[in-house]
Amino acid sequence: MSDIPASPEPAATPPERRRPRISRRAAHAVAAGILALSAALMAVDIARDSPTYDEPFHTTRGLALWWEGDSRLSFAHPPLANALQAAPAAARGAAADLSELRGWEQSDLVEVARGYGAKSYDRARSDMVLGRAVTAALALLLGVYLYARSLRHGAVRALLVLGLYALHPMVLAHGHLTTTDLPIAVTFVIAVCEWQRYLTSGRPLRLATAALALGAAMVTKFSALILPPAFALVALYAALRRAGRFSGLSWPRVAGGLARDAAVVLAVVLLVINASYGFQRTGWTVDRILAEPEPAHWLSSKQKGNLLDRSALAALPGGLRVPLPYTYVFGTFSAAAHTKSNHGNYFFGGLHGPSPAYFPVLLVLKSPVGFLFLLGVGASLLRVRRRWPRLRTVALATAPALFMALAVRSQINLGVRHVLPVVPFLAMVAARGGAWLALRPRRAATRVPIRIARFAAAGAAGLVAVEAVAATPHHLSHFNWLVGARAGHWVSMVGEDWGQDIASLGKALRERDASPVYYEPYGDWASAELSRSGVRHRRLRCNQDLPRPAWVAIHASVDVRRRKPCAALRDGAVREAVIDHHILVYRLEDTHASPPAKAPDDAADGDDVKE
């Protein structure tokens, strides 16, 4: 044995080449901390923000499902998210009879929501706040899913995915509201990821979860209609390449597998859609659908109640049965019409019409600086190194790419929230860039020394957290440090001023002992919210002169879309304050030295002064 040469000892790894290692237990603890921080920031926003413009509609729609067992109001948005958000309010009992409110028979959601708020505003507002808690829980659930899914790439990358998603101001902004924008992001991402896992693994369980997630997305928001063609394109790519679950199969078996998968997914999706609507008014013929009076909807009104008669549905055979609820069919075609409606076009300081740059620009300006840095690094790693991209890459990229392309062509420039489902996928790319800097940097002899690369990764991730905390409680109107709030609101106001600052307006008016107050509401619960803040007011009508002295409050979102200046502010108007860049407060001075105007004796709270 003494003649056997001793084995050379392995060379010690140079300190600069060692990779940081994080145990699973430590990673889970850090992940819990990230989720706790995200939950705390959303809780602050929930407590601070007044009802936004759309939240009364989502709240009322969900309560109608529980209290009336009727899905007639679920045409602008499918019912799943609203049903979940309304569940806590419905569970506490004392149901209101929505069917007795004005507009119920005509499926007029605006009238029903307005009536419910007027009937008992404190109760209605409380129901909405409970719905916000459900949305926040869904936001955290997606964070857990992304973290668990990314652990196979290592703890560092998983923590980066979680942090970049959960602390993104857009996620925090819409993760605390009773709307469908965050829920569609949850179902959209899970559906895409589960479909990728099925196509790469071929496990039947993954087919079931993908089909269920797709069905959930389809009954959360109509923008999920982009998912079926995306699923089909990815499946065809896998089949033609005979990759993933099609690996090693003959062409007849590949065709058979495609047909079976399509049949399973279609059956599950149809079942989920019909079940979410309680199987109400489903299976009608085309003629029966066209003969049904359309819901009271602004798009239908523009077509004199004949929106479906002018759609592609009218070209189908009259006796053909449609295996979908009538409300879902109407919602699908109204959503398609909405994308062409030129709805909201304030951009870069003026009314310039819908712009294809709207969503890309806002995604950049509303994403944290650290996020953008890591996203740039991650995108630089997406070089095509082979003739055919990997199936996993195609599966994860196709749906968000199609979704973004549809958004760019859309004429709905009403806020970056409409592309929120893209953000988690961007977080995946950014996390890859951060993990590369932390774990796989270039050698010290090249341009980026290892220590600098790791410092850059940690610093960028830290900046995301700092920016998220600094933006509290104004995540909804946040613009990153590249432009700041003042410049950002010049770029986009519609969607940033969404009614969330009404309670702050009330506080500012009380501090100034303002009276009389004239207010132009933005939303059906806006006047009631200002009254709840302790401010008695009358409705402002810009085409009428006002007694002076007086105070006037106008939402910037309304003001920037006004074709003519408000005539009531023509003479002697002094801008007293701007509430979070969103609500303009003016003091009208008495230029003729007339006696001070007093509030009329019949000055009423907001829900008594609506038109």
Say if residue 228 is exposed, middle or buried (CB neighbours under 10 Å; 0-12, 13-18, 19+): middle
Phi-psi region of 604 (alpha: psi -120 to 50; beta: other; left: phi over 0): beta
Q: Which residue has the tokens 């729609």?
A: 61
Q: Which of 79-88, 311-320, 597-606 has the lowest mean pLDDT?
A: 597-606
Percentage of the chain lying above the pLDDT 70 cut? 91
- Say what the alpha-carbon torsion angle 535, 538, 543, 549 is, to the nearest 10 degrees: -60
- The answer to whether residue 11 scores a pLDDT higher than 60 is no
- The answer to whether residue 140 scores a pLDDT higher than 50 is yes
- Report pLDDT digits (tens) over 488-538: 889 999 889 999 999 999 999 999 999 999 999 999 999 999 999 999 999
Cβ atoms of 536 and 125 within 8 Å: the answer is no
Structure-model confidence comparison of residues 596 and 496, the more confident one:
496
CA atoms of 57 and 115, how far apart (whole Å) = 11
Say if residue 243 is exposed, middle or buried (CB neighbours under 10 Å; 0-12, 13-18, 19+): middle
Give the pair of three-digit tokens for residue 368: 């944290």
Structure-model confidence comparison of residues 562 and 602, the more confident one:
562
- The answer to whether residue 579 scores a pLDDT higher than 80 is yes
To the nearest 10 degrees (0 to 180), the angle between helices 181-201 and 80-91 is: 120
Q: Which residues of 113-134 are buried (b: 16+ CB within 10 A; e: fewer)?
A: bbbbbbeebeebbebbbbbbbb
What integer pLDDT is reported at residue 294 of this predicted model?
A: 93
Give the pair of three-digit tokens for residue 527: 């006047």
Give the pair of three-digit tokens for residue 349: 């300081």
- Say what the alpha-carbon torsion angle 332, 336, 337, 343 is, to the nearest 10 degrees: 120
Mean pLDDT of 313-330: 96
CA distances from 576 to 144, 535, 546 (A): 46, 17, 17
**SS3 track for 436-465:** HHHHCCCCCCCCCCHHHHHHHHHHHHHHHH
CA atoms of 344 and 48, how far apart (whole Å) = 26
- Report pLDDT digits (tens) over 420-470: 999 999 999 999 999 999 987 654 445 667 888 889 999 999 999 999 999
pLDDT-based confidence at residue 4 (cuts at 50, 70, 90): very low
For residue 468, give the nearest of 79, 30, 93, 167 by alpha carbon: 167
- The answer to whether residue 213 scores a pLDDT higher than 60 is yes
Detail the DSSP E strand segments found in 31-146.
none
- Report pLDDT digits (tens) over 549-563: 999 999 999 888 887
Structure-model confidence comparison of residues 584 and 602, the more confident one:
584
CA atoms of 271 and 42, how far apart (whole Å) = 34
Say if residue 486 is exposed, middle or buried (CB neighbours under 10 Å; 0-12, 13-18, 19+): exposed
Detail the DSSP E strand segments found in 328-448.
346-347, 350-351
Cβ atoms of 74 and 61 within 8 Å: the answer is yes
Percentage of the chain lying above the pLDDT 90 cut? 75
Mean pLDDT of 294-317: 89
- The vertex-296 CA angle with 290 and 298, nearest 5°, equals 105
Structure-model confidence comparison of residues 604 and 275, the more confident one:
275
Q: Which of 4-13, 47-56, 61-70, 581-590 has the lowest mean pLDDT?
A: 4-13
Q: Which of 75-79, 189-193, 452-456 has the lowest mean pLDDT?
A: 452-456
Half-sphere exposure of 601 (CA within 13 A, CB side): 0
* 497 beta partners: 494
